[in-house]
Amino acid sequence: MTAIITATELAEELTGGNPPVLLDVRWQLSLAKAAGAPPFDGAAEYAAGHIPGAAFVDLDRELASAPGAAGRHPLPDLAEFGAAMRRAGVSAGRPVVVYDGGQGWAAARAWWLLRRTGHPDVRVLDGGLPSWRGALSKEVRAPAEGDFVPEPVAEGLLDADGAAALARTGVLLDARAGERYRGEVEPVDRVGGHIPGAVSAPTTENVGPDGLFLPPAELRDRFKALGVSPDTEVGVYCGSGVSGAHEVLALAVAGIPAALYAGSWSEWSADPSRPVAVGADPQ
């Protein structure tokens, strides 16, 4: 089962006998508060036009817990996450397709959570809403209640100690922009830099100019150049576990399993006792 779906394939499946549940997870990492501008409003974007039948999911409230010691986007409470998914119409027996505004980060976060908590069939719309060529709807209605009950995440999840160890024994990829990895700028967290031993691998380089994922062979070549081999244990982190999920998705498209450090740099950097590396050298 592939982890992504094209807009053409989605349009065909929506007219089939078992159409997927559609989740709209439009979200942006917003620095508007510091700049004095209004923050991005995903719900308003959804109300202004969405793929017909899609239900809106709020990343900050339904795909994460409140910010704190565990980072800016800690994993959500399992019961609350399950209730949110059922409200959105998610059932275990129906496929799910998730999309966002095109960046892919938020959709990947929903994909990762649903897959890791037991849903058998979840895909991300490649290219997000900009790739959709059909009509949009402004109708906002509650879908039929779903029956999905999430299971605790049993594998594919790293904590801070696990990420530190993997940076020494396998490959730990840092999905943030290179300048944040190097510590040249840090617009959000306490300090800049990276986990010692981590390799810079900006998730933006997993897609082409059209916003679509690179072909699987090209992604495999990219990750091979970063040190990933068939027998390598791979982990990913980012700022707060959102863009890192997109890198895990890119790895899945390439056929490479990877774990996610959900707390990511926002958790790591908040603890002054944890080491910080700066510059282009992983160490």
Separation of alpha carbons 52 and 28, rounded Å: 22
Tokens, residue 114: 């649903």
Catalytic residue among 51, 164, 238, 254: 238
Per DSSP, the residues of 33-88 read: HHHTSPPP-HHHHHHH-B-TT-EE--HHHHSS--SBTTBSSPPPPHHHHHHHHHHT
> Is 238 known to be catalytic?
yes
**Both tokens assigned to 196:** 């010692």
β-sheet with 157-158: strand ranges across: 157-158, 259-261, 234-237, 171-174, 199-200
Q: Angle at CA 201, nearest 5°, toward 198 and 203?
A: 135
Measured distance CA(15)–CA(17) in Å, rounded? 7
Contact 82, 9 (CB under 8 A): no
Cβ atoms of residues 62 and 86 within 8 Å: no
The tokens of 80 are what?
A: 């609350």
Q: Classify residue 109 by its DSSP letter.
A: H
Q: Which residues are catalytic?
A: 238
